Amino acid sequence: MAAQDKDDTPLWARLERPAPAPRQTLSPRRIATTAVAIADAEGLDAVTMRRLAGELGVAPMAAYRYVSGKDELLELMVDHVYSELELPDGTAGWREALRAVALRTRELILAHPWFGQLPPGAVLALTPNRTAVSERMLSAVAGLGLDLDTAMAVVTSVSSYTHGMTGQEVAMRQLMAGRGWSDEQEVYTSLAPQLTYLLDTGRYPTYRRYIYEGRCKNDPGWQFETGLEYVLDGIAARVGAK
């Protein structure tokens, strides 16, 4: 919308107002779906209001009836991605619920690599579907006898582990794509001179053993799930839960 017509009502409150007349061809869902498709194919920088209008086949200002600019467009995109996260039903135990959310979140980030490159405002954006995930995770640990602040710290720890580990995986994929490498072995080959030098200094004996003896260096799925189990084990040990 034009600056002189700026509406200070929060995005999600505006979107819950009655829908525009049926003759309108746009909807928040269509805008989000199109923007996500652009980002998936070409990266986050390719998503602009002008490009979006072109893909939607509407006038450049049409989308401004729903979002005030790219910041709110990113919120729509974040909410759309979180809508793909299928939450476990309420009968799952706390551990099964947190594990399921973590695994599914990893799948979503890998499917939408730009998700880990969002600006701070979008990273912290509160959207309906994202809040639903937080609600599900908090409700999963509600029976552990934790105060609300501790419960949120537990949930945030699992979420931070998930985003951190998956972010490294996305970075590796992007590095490989940028260099034209087909597998991680080519990464190690390219790093061989630097790695050999560092390991031959004798300063990193344990890391050296990992490089030469580790069997799962090229299995990010195994690495993620193993680390996640240790995170959940730590929570279970602290609260005395199974």
User: Of 81, 100, 128, which one is at a domain's C-terminal end?
Assistant: 81
Same structural domain, 28 and 102: no
How much is the pLDDT for 46?
96
How much is the pLDDT for 91?
67
Q: How confident is the model at residue 17 (pLDDT cuts 50, 70, 90)?
A: confident
How much is the pLDDT for 3?
43
Q: Answer positive or negative: Cα dihedral of 116, 118, 121, 122.
A: negative
How much is the pLDDT for 20?
56
How much is the pLDDT for 7?
66
Same structural domain, 101 and 71: no
Cα 193-196-199 angle, rounded to 5 deg: 150
How much is the pLDDT for 167?
94
Same structural domain, 59 and 102: no
Same structural domain, 119 and 233: yes
How much is the pLDDT for 21?
54
Same structural domain, 130 and 227: yes
| pLDDT top residue among 86 and 148 | 148
How much is the pLDDT for 25?
77
Query: What pLDDT digit, counting tens, does each position of 130-143 carry?
Result: 999 999 999 999 99
Q: What average pLDDT does this structure show over 162-169?
A: 95
How much is the pLDDT for 81?
96
Written as six digits, the tokens of 170 are 């996305």
* Number of other CB atoms surrounding residue 73 within 10 Å: 23
Full domain range(s) for residue 107:
90-183+218-239
Q: How confident is the model at residue 1 (pLDDT cuts 50, 70, 90)?
A: very low
Same structural domain, 34 and 143: no
pLDDT at residue 120 is higher than 80: yes
CATH, residue 146: 1.10.357.10
Q: For residue 209, tell me if it sits in a domain.
A: no
Number of domains forming the structure of the chain: 2
Question: What's the pTM?
Answer: 0.86
Q: Which residue has 């002008």 as its token pair? A: 50
Q: For residue 232, tell me if it sits in a domain.
A: yes
How much is the pLDDT for 179?
87
pLDDT at residue 177 is higher than 50: yes
Q: For residue 206, tell me if it sits in a domain.
A: no
How much is the pLDDT for 19?
60
Written as six digits, the tokens of 39 are 């980002």
pLDDT at residue 242 is higher than 60: no
User: Of 28, 47, 81, which one is at a domain's C-terminal end?
Assistant: 81
Same structural domain, 47 and 107: no
How much is the pLDDT for 4?
44
Please enumerate, as own/partner, the contacts of 6-9 that have beta carbons within 8 Å and a separation of 24 or more.
6/68, 7/68
CATH, residue 22: 1.10.10.60
Q: What average pLDDT does this structure show over 29-56?
A: 95
Query: Which range among 28-42, 186-200, 216-230 shows the weakest confidence by mean pLDDT?
Result: 186-200
Cα 46-48-52 angle, rounded to 5 deg: 100
55, with CB counted inside 10 A (0-12, 13-18, 19+), is middle
